[in-house]
A and B are shown apart, each in its own frame.
Chain A
Amino acid sequence: MAHGLNVYKVDGSLGFSTADVTWQTIAQFTVAANATVANTYSEIAGMTVIAQRQLVNVPPAAQEDYVPNAVISNNSQTVTVSPQSGLSSSQCIIHVLAQDT
């Protein structure tokens, strides 16, 4: 690597290298059932942003549980989480990742 940072483990093997990294964690937050939340992160303006959704405390098979939508907007700075149209949504963890392309 010409630039960046390597971190080595006690045994001398490579534990972390900026050369390997493709996506960065920007934030993680939990959205309550049926809630709408919009969070803005100015530091990721213009980056490629994705949001991972994980339902919480939802039984796997007992009922219909709907995941909320997650929309990226505002030059990739804002992540808006809201229920699907006409449906209730379950509690959900949002994991925001960005790629500085």
Chain B
Amino acid sequence: MAYGFEAKNDYGNIIINDTIENLHFIGKATRGSADSAYGDIPNYSGSNDTLDGRVVHTYTITCSGTPVAFIKPNDYSRWHSVIKQSVSGTTWTFEVMISGTSTSNPPDVYCFVNADDIPSSSETHGMQVFKSDGTTKTFDSRKQPLAITGGGTASAPPSDPTNSSGTPGTTSGHPWNYATNDHDFRSSNRYTEHSNSAANTSDAMFSCPSLAQACYKRQMHGFHQSCICYIFGWCACGYQDHWSTASWWVMYRNAFRLRSGKFDAGWTGYAAGYAFSSAYESGGWFGGGGGSYSSGTMPYTAKTINLQSNAYILADSSRYD
């Protein structure tokens, strides 16, 4: 550079200059409503009913520019992710999902924007760095610049989000009205881990949007054929068929967890449902009939989408408290 200011660290890496746009702390987003659900499969009771559960907390912040949101867990054992970021005018809304059903210990969301988008300061001391145009700010010591203490590329989580081996599918040949789920839809042991010395369970916070999502269903078809009437031990009036279908489904979102020295990319169930239908044909003196029940609908056919790596960044939240 021919002029200006440049700061390097002990390793000679450029940290501040007139081209790098440092992010600065704009504040913590305000937490609003919380929606807790899916500790188990809705309206189903039986084997493999238990799910991981999830709580979605909604946060808002008003600012110029586009904020980068960091999640500071207050319960580091749970999985966290920003599953939706939206904007209306200059108000940004973040939906943050955490695993489990307890609304206690919600995370904090720290937001950062470019130096040029931070509000003006009345403080009279400090240092500002501008681009060569003389007006675009890249650094302002008065506004808590972001120090990214760690990060890298978080590989995608395993394509199968379910604890059971293999993804669930459809089988036939079950007894009529059989409805016992044999697939563990929880995700607690489905993740990829990344070593990073900046990861800890005291003050670390992370930014890593949720990209991957998945939807899977277990479906069982049951069948039974009964004789309408017997005469001298023979089925004399024909047969009557009975059908049933039971299905369980869960939709997942990519979520993340901080451990000491580790950053994990895994899954948390976002939505779930159960459906059952039973029918039998008419025959002889017996009219046909049946019934069905469904709690929710799968948002799309069974698959994993957006199974891609994404950049993750870590920082020390205590610097901004």
Contacts and interface: CB of A to CB of B under 8 A. Distances in A.
B306 A16 contact: no
A25 B23 contact: yes
A24 B20 contact: yes
B311 A52 contact: yes
Contact of A52 (B10, B126, B207, B316): B207
Best-buried of B21, B82, B311 by chain A (most CB within 10 Å): B311
Contacts of A28: 21, 66, 68, 114
A10 to B, nearest CB: 9
A97 B21 CA distance: 10
B208 interface: yes
Interface residues of B, number: 59
A93 to B, nearest CB: 6
A81 interface: no
A101 B308 contact: no
A26 B9 contact: no
Nearest to B13: A100
Contacts of B85: 54-57, 93
Contacts, number: 147
Nearest to B21: A25
Interface string A46-87: 000011111111111111111101000000000000000000
Contacts of B319: 14-16
A100 B300 CA distance: 42
Contact of B16 (A5, A53, A97): A5
Contacts of B120: none
Contacts of B20: 24-26, 43, 98
B157 interface: no
Interface in B1-52: 7-10, 12-16, 19-23
B227 interface: no
A19 interface: yes
Nearest to A64: B300
B60 interface: no
Contacts of A7: 126-127, 141, 145
